[in-house]
């Protein structure tokens, strides 16, 4: 099981994130970025964080340690924002914490060297798990001690939002052309050859066993958390077996990404009613995940 810790102090909300995670100090003397069960994304985002993050760790990728955080809303009694208080009160009990890496910086192209082999492994994992939330605009990657770390994997496992159609997505190729590491020449063939044999049903059972029963107990169509875990195992094992069908085929250049954004912005503007076309177009901005470096000292 994941280590369990108790929240002692709610330090600060990370308001830039859509799920409004918070920085929390705990009884193991650790400081964690905690994602809450009461957030709009619900517990499935936490399930994905555990399954994708711990799978990545076992495949040799760097992911900050994850812990289960016993959270009493009373430790955040001084938080003045009523909406955040509502979120925290709805999250009493077990939540998920990711170790806050002191001095970590948001990844930006050129900040560090990333080999084609490492880029390929990250892209391969994202393609396997259906994670389209590691884009050039929202990398969900940190740089710590000169190395790449994966954070915010909660957007993966998109199939579990609609189990009835999950089987139809086993062969699905996700559009990762705008992936944050696309400019580093990801070696996907090498990644597939190295990683696919490692993702066995046994490994998947090990990873899914880390998800608390309570986060799986109310899944419609399943009679037990064990049945839900087996559904994750079956889906991901089948997807690995058909990797040739979903391996990404290419990556967009920065110019192509800008052109696509401009076309999308023009299409949104054209769809506006005439009276609204004079309003500056602020739609479609990519969500920005928390910048942890604002809460810790620089490298």
CA angle 214, 14, 84 (to 5 degrees): 65
Least confident of 61-70, 157-166, 278-287: 278-287
Q: How far apart are the first and last CA of the chain?
A: 32
Q: H or E stretch including 90?
A: none
Q: Are strands 105-106 and 141-144 parallel, antiparallel or unpaired?
A: antiparallel
Rounded Cα distance, 32 and 285, in Å: 28
Give pLDDT tens digits for 24-82.
999 999 999 999 999 988 999 999 999 999 999 999 999 999 999 999 999 999 999 99
| Rounded alpha-carbon distances, angstroms, from residue 164 to 55, 161, 170, 235 | 24, 9, 12, 12
pLDDT at 279 exceeding the cut of 70: no
What pLDDT does 284 receive?
Answer: 46
* pTM (2 d.p.): 0.86
């Amino acid at each position: 099981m994941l280590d369990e810790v108790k929240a002692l102090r709610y330090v600060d909300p990370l308001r830039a994130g859509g799920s409004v995670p918070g920085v929390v100090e705990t009884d193991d003397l650790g400081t964690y970025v905690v994602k809450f069960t009461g957030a709009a994304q619900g517990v499935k985002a936490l399930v994905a964080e555990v399954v994708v993050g711990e799978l990545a760790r076992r495949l040799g990728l760097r992911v900050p340690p994850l812990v289960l955080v016993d959270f009493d809303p009373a430790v955040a009694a001084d938080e003045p924002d009523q909406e955040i208080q509502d979120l925290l009160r709805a999250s009493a009990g077990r939540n998920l914490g990711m170790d806050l890496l002191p001095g970590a910086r948001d990844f930006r192209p050129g900040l560090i060297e990333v080999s084609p082999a490492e880029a390929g492994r990250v892209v391969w994992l994202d393609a396997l798990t259906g994670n389209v939330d590691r884009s050039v605009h929202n990398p969900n990657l940190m740089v710590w001690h000169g190395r790449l770390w994966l954070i915010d994997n909660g957007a993966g496992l998109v199939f579990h939002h609609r189990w009835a159609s999950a089987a139809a997505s086993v062969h699905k190729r996700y559009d990762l052309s705008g992936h944050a590491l696309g400019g580093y020449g990801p070696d996907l063939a090498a990644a597939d050859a190295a990683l696919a044999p490692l993702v066995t049903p046994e490994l998947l059972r090990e990873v899914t066993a880390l998800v608390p029963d309570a986060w799986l107990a109310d899944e419609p169509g399943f009679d037990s958390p064990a049945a839900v875990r087996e559904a994750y195992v079956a889906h991901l094992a089948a997807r690995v077996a058909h990797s040739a069908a979903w391996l990404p085929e290419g990556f967009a250049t920065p110019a192509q990404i800008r052109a696509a954004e401009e076309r999308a912005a023009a299409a949104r503007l054209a769809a506006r009613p005439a009276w609204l076309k004079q309003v500056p177009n602020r739609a479609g901005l990519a969500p920005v995940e928390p910048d942890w470096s604002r809460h810790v000292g620089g490298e």
